Amino acid sequence: MINVADYVDAAREKIAPEVWCYFEGGAGDEVTLRGNVAAYERWQLRPRMLVDVSAVTTATTLLGTEVASPLGIAPFALQRLLDPDGEVATARAAAAAGVLMCVSTLTTRTHAEIASAGDGPRWFQLYVVRDRQRTLDHMQEAREAGYSALVLTVDAPYIGRRERDVRLGFETPPDLDPPYAKLSELTPELTWRDLEWIRAEMPLPIVLKGILTREDAELAVEHGADAVWVSNHGGRQLDGVAAGLEALPEVAEAVAGRCEVYVDGGIRRGTDVLKALALGADAAFAARAFACALAVEGEAGVAHALSLLQDEIALGLGLLGCTSPQQVTTAHVQGTPS
């Protein structure tokens, strides 16, 4: 295993197809799923020479949380389908590496169990479910577990139709029983007004995950979001939308430094992260890269994937002529948006 692609291949071999479809697949014709990866090939890095890069750091701060890398672990559901320790294995690896982990509402481990994996930078992803009391109870439990930001996913009023799951009959096994919500319980009623309610219940910085347009980026800032996370949910929701990387410049431009900006979708390489930083992101996130590593070797796999990507980011920064993620600017990238 020398890169993420090796983990992707090995995971596909190891996990039963009727389970792997859920992790690998996207919605509809998977145009957006493929587009997420392809977008990175349309941009080229513009390195600067004769810069002293003898001391390179990948560390940065996101919403006041110190992290070892500008690449975090995006929330992904049902991790016990891939490893018996599930989210706790991912949390242990992330904490040891000092990398930010965002824990899904559809976690198969409780927040208390994840907290016991050790101190590490950790945010919590919220899906609001139809029964608001259940959401309140969930937020309360998350609050006690010490997360430092809340990531509200806004692109899932309904679950996208993922045809691989339909064909292979994927269903969450009853014994997994996610403690806080089920896929079928998400509410389609959420509006901008609900942000106030969430903020009152959980006074943490709020990240809006799933923003793809300048219009919504503007509204997010107006409603006091602390960060917007450009994402198409890994191509799993509305097929035919822009790749994360392609939507990033318009969102970053609309935000104009008024809050932090993140991006995800299709990240498999450290150089992908550098392109995201150059196009206006403060950080990038990946889900499938780490899901594959978790599937293949559990906690050790996630730890290894984190260190491979961390090394790629550090090497890339040095070769780009930058000594930290903050030094990467739009001048470090050129390309043609699709």
**Taking the complex as a whole, how short is the minimal distance between the CB of residue 224 and ligand FMN, in angstroms?**
20
CB of 218 to ligand FMN, least distance (A): 22
The binder of ligand FMN chosen from 106, 117, 255, 273 (CB under 6 A): 106
Angle between helices 132-144 and 194-201 (to 10 degrees): 40
Binding string, residues 112-151; x marks residues near ligand FMN by CB under 6 A:
-------------x--------------------------
∠ CA 93-245-64, nearest 5°, is 50
Kindly state whether residue 264 participates in binding ligand FMN, applying the rule CB under 6 A. Answer: yes
- Contacts with ligand FMN, 149-168, as mask; x by CB under 6 A: ----x---------------
Interface characters, 54-83, with ligand FMN (x: CB under 6 A): --------------------xxxx------
The structure tokens listed for 115 are 């907290």
> In this complex, which beta carbon is closest to ligand FMN, that of residue 165 or of residue 250?
165
Residues binding ligand FMN: what is the number (CB under 6 A)? 25
- Answer whether 39's CB lies under 8 Å from 244's CB: yes
**Does the footprint of ligand FMN cover residue 266 (CB under 6 A)?**
yes
Rg for the chain, CA atoms, rounded: 19
Binding residue (CB under 6 A) for ligand FMN from 267, 277, 293, 313: 267
**Tokens read off for 270:** 């450290």
Beta carbon nearer to ligand FMN, 4 or 252 = 4
262: left (phi over 0), alpha (psi -120 to 50) or beta: beta
36 interacts with ligand FMN by CB under 6 A: yes
Could you tell me the two tokens for 277? 């930083």
Strand ranges in 56-213 using DSSP code E only, listed in sequence order: 60-62, 65-67, 71-73, 101-103, 122-126, 150-153, 206-211
Query: DSSP character for 112?
Result: H
Stretch 219-258: interaction string toward ligand FMN, x if CB under 6 A:
------------x-xx-x----------------------
Paired strand residues for 129: 186
Structure token digits, residue 5:
């692609």
N- to C-terminal Cα separation, the chain:
32
Contact status: 317 vs ligand FMN (CB under 6 A): no
Q: Which of 111, 138, 223, 233 is catalytic?
A: 233
Min. distance of Cβ 217 from ligand FMN in angstroms? 17
Per CB under 6 A, which region of 160-168, 174-182, 263-271, 292-300 contacts ligand FMN? 263-271
CA 276 – CA 40 distance, rounded (Å): 9
Distance CA 122, CA 75 (A): 11
How open is the CA angle 78-165-126, to the nearest 5 degrees? 35
**Using CB under 6 A, which of 4, 8, 21, 23 touches ligand FMN?**
23
Q: How far is the CB of 236 from ligand FMN (least distance, A)?
A: 6
Question: Which region, judged by CB under 6 A, interacts with ligand FMN, from 55-63, 158-166, 220-228, 265-273?
Answer: 265-273
DSSP state of 103: E
Catalytic residue list contains 233: yes
Distance, in Å, from the CA atom of 246 to the CA atom of 224, rounded to the nearest integer, reads 24
3-state secondary structure at position 300 = helix
| Rounded Cα–Cα distance for residues 294 and 303 (Å) | 9
Residues found near ligand FMN in the complex (CB under 6 A): 22-23, 36, 74-77, 104, 106, 125, 153, 209, 231, 233-234, 236, 264-267, 286-289, 291
What residues are labeled active site?
233
